[in-house]
Structure 1
Amino acid sequence: MRLRVLTLNVLNLEGDPRRQDILNAEIRRLDPDLVSLQEVVVNEEHDQLARLLDGTGLHGTHQAHTLGYAVPWSERYGGTALATRWPHTVVETLDLRLPETGDVHPWGAIGAAVDIPGEGELLFVATTNGASLADERARERHVVKLAELDDRHRRKLPTIIAGDFNARPEASSIRFMRGLQSLDGRTAGYYDTWEIAGDGPGYTWSYDNPSAAWIMDYIIRQPSPRMRIDYVFVATSQTRHLDGECRVRRAQLAFDQPVDGVWPSDHYGVLVDFELSGNIERFERQPLPWSH
C-alpha cells in the first residue's frame, strides 16, 4: 500500500496570521498519512495543532498532551506534534532539553505505534532537535536518544523518524542516523529518504524564503545560505524488520512556494511516498550470520 509521510516546521504563531489557514489547506491537499510537525503552540490560550489539522481527518498528539508539564518558552516557540490517519498509541515522549550542553529549546520527541490496516504496526517518531548551529554535541545526544527509543518500541514494520534535525547531511548526528558513524558506543541504521528518491539538493531552510532570510542574517551572517536540515528517515529492514518493508518511491519538497504573497513557514516541508508491506515472504535460504 502507499504510505505518505510529511514533516514540516510550522514556525509557531509568528508572522502573517493567514499562514495558519494556508498550512491547513495545504495539509488537506497533500493528504498525508503520517505527519511530523515542529514548533506547534498548544496551551490554554492557543491550540495551533487543532487548527492545522481541522478537516484533515488526522489524529493528532502534541508533546504538551503527554509530558504532563509545561516546558519553559513553549508558549512562544511551541513543541513537537504528530498526526496519523489511523488512531495511534503514544508509547513514549522525550523531553530533549539538555541544560548541560546549553540547549534549552522547548522541544521534544514523540513515539507512537500506528496500526496500519492490513499491514501491521509501525513506530512513528516525530522530533525537533537542538537549533543552535554550533551545538552539534546536543544533537548527537538527541539522535542517540531517538535510536534508543526505537530499540525500546519498534514494531513489525520499519520505523519512520521525521522532523527538524537542525543539521546538514554531513553533520555527525545525521551521519549517525545514516549508519555512517557511531556515537556513545552505539550505531544506528536508517535510510535518508531524500538521498534515495529526492530530486536536487533538497534545501529546506533557505535564504530564498523571506521568512527564513531575516533569521539567517541574524544567526549566520554570510551570503545567501541554503541548508537541508529536515528529514524523513526509515529504518533498514535487513535485521530488525524481517517481515515488513517500506520502500521509498518519491521524496519532494512541500510548502516551498508563497500563497498570495504569504510564505507558509520559514522551513520547507519534506513529503515522502513509500510502498509499505507487512506481508513479505522470507527468502528460503540459509540465514545470514547477522540476521539472528
Structure 2
Amino acid sequence: MAVLSRYPVLATAERPLPTLPGHRDDGKTALHALLDVPGGPLPFFTTHLNSGIAESAVRCAQVRELAAFVAEHARGPFPPVVTGDFNAEPDFDEVRLICGYKTAPAVPGLVLLDAWRFADPALPQGTWDISTEYAVNFGARPSRIDYILVGPPGPDSRGWVRTARRAGDRRTAGVWPSDHAAVVAELALPQPSLKLRGA
C-alpha cells in the first residue's frame, strides 16, 4: 500500500490492523498522510482489509481499529478521506460500521460518506473482477469492494464530494491495468460564506 500525492505530505503514520483467533494474520495495516492541499491540510487514509469470504468478523475488527486511527488523526479544516480495498460490498456489516450512518459508528461521532452516493447511477458500479468473468465473487456481477469514504463537509462546503467515477476499467494496449477498477472522487475546496437577506 502507498499514498501518492502531488501535494506536500506534512505528516505520516501507520497502524497495524488486528485479526481474530483462528484466522491468519495477513499483516494488514492502515496508512495516514496529512496532505497540504489548497484550502488547508487534508487527513488522508488508506487500507486493505482481509479478503476471506468468511472473514466479515475479522474485517469488522479491522474497521474498528481503522476508525480509531482515523479519529486520532482527523484534524484540520478538511473532513477525513478514507480509501481502500475493503473486500466487502456496500451492504456488508464492515462497510456499514465504518460509515456509521446505517448503524452505530465504530467510533462515536465518526461518520463517513461513501463517495459513490454522488456518482451518476447510470455508471458501472463494480470495482473488482472487471477483467475476468470466471473469478469467484459475491454474485453474478462485478462487486464494488473499493471505496473512497469522506467525512461530512464543513459549513463552507470544504470536502463536499462533487463527483465520483471509476477509472482504470479498460484495457490499455490489450492489457488490464488491474483486476480492480480505481475509484476517483472530486472534492470541493472551501466556498465563501453566503450572505442571506431576509424578506
Shorter-chain TM-score: what band?
Answer: 0.7 to 0.9
- What is aligned with 1:37? none
Are 1:192 and 2:114 counterparts? yes
- The structure carrying a bigger strand percent of its residues is 1
Structure 2 partner of 1:110: 31
Alpha carbons of 1:122 and 1:95: their partners in 2 closer, same or farther (altered >3 Å)?
Answer: same
Q: With the length of structure 2 as denominator, give the TM-score of the two structures.
A: 0.84
Structure-to-structure mapping, 1:144-223, within 5 angstroms: 144-154=64-74, 155-178=76-99, 179-182=101-104, 186=108, 188-199=110-121, 200-206=123-129, 208-210=130-132, 213=133, 216-217=135-136, 220=137
User: Contact 2:116/2:164 (CA < 8 Å) preserved in 1?
Assistant: yes
Q: Could you tell me how far apart the structure 1 residues matched to 2:107 and 2:33 are? A: 26
| Structure 1 residue 201 displacement after superposition | 4.9
1:85-114, Cα deviation, whole Å (9 max, x unpaired): 111134420112415351422331101111
**1:229-270 alpha-carbon deviations (Å, 9 max, x no partner):** 000010013xxx556621212111111111122111111111
Check the 8 A contact 1:103/1:130 in 2, yes or no: no
Matched, 1:262 2:182: no
Which stretches in structure 2 are left out of the alignment for 5+ residues?
none
Q: Which amino acid aligns with 1:121?
A: P
Residue of 70, 74, 81 corresponding to 2:2: 81
What amino acid is aligned across from residue 86 of structure 2 in structure 1? F
Does structure 1 retain, via aligned residues, the 8 Å contact 2:46–2:82? Answer: yes
Runs of 4+ in 1 over 6 A off after TM superposition: none
Match of 2:158 in 1: 245
**Partner amino acid, structure 1, of 2:152:** T
1:272 to 175, 185, 189: 185
Cα distance change of structure 1 residues 282 and 106 upon mapping to structure 2, 3 Å threshold:
farther
- Deviation track 1:48-106 (CA, whole Å, cap 9, x = no partner) reads xxxxxxxxxxxxxxxxxxxxxxxxxxxxxxxx111111111344201124153514223
Given that residues 159 and 189 in structure 2 are in contact (C-alpha distance below 8 angstroms), is that contact kept between their aligned partners in structure 1? yes
Q: 1:98 and 1:183 mapped to 2: Cα distance?
A: 20
Structure 2 CA distance for partners of 1:115 and 1:169, relative to 1, 3 Å: same
* 1:228–1:152 CA distance, 2 compared to 1 (3 A): same
Name the count of aligned residue pairs. 193
Quote the Cα distance in structure 2 between the aligned partners of 1:105 and 1:253. Answer: 27
Equivalent-residue separation in structure 2 for 1:190 and 1:86 (angstroms)? 23
Aligned counterpart, 1:234 = 150
Residue 157 (structure 1) shift:
0.8
**Percentage of identical aligned residues:** 27
Question: Structure 2 vs 1, CA of residues 84 and 101 (structure 1 numbering), >3 Å: closer, same or farther?
Answer: farther
The answer to whether the 8 Å contact 1:209/1:266 transfers is yes
Alpha-carbon distance in structure 2 between the residues aligned to 1:281 and 1:223: 46
Q: Is the CA contact (8 Å cut-off) linking 1:129 and 1:139 kept in structure 2?
A: yes
The one-letter code sitting in structure 2 at the alignment partner of 1:255 is G
Q: Give the structure-1-normalised TM-score.
A: 0.59
Q: Which residue of 1 aligns with 2:46?
A: 126
Q: CA RMSD in A?
A: 2.6
Q: List per-residue Cα deviations over 1:136-186 (Å, max 9, x = no partner).
A: 111111222222112111122111111111100001111123321126674
- Structure number with higher relative contact order (C-alpha < 8 Å, ≥ 6 residues apart): 1
Mapped to 1, the partners of 2:90 and 2:184 lie a distance apart of: 17
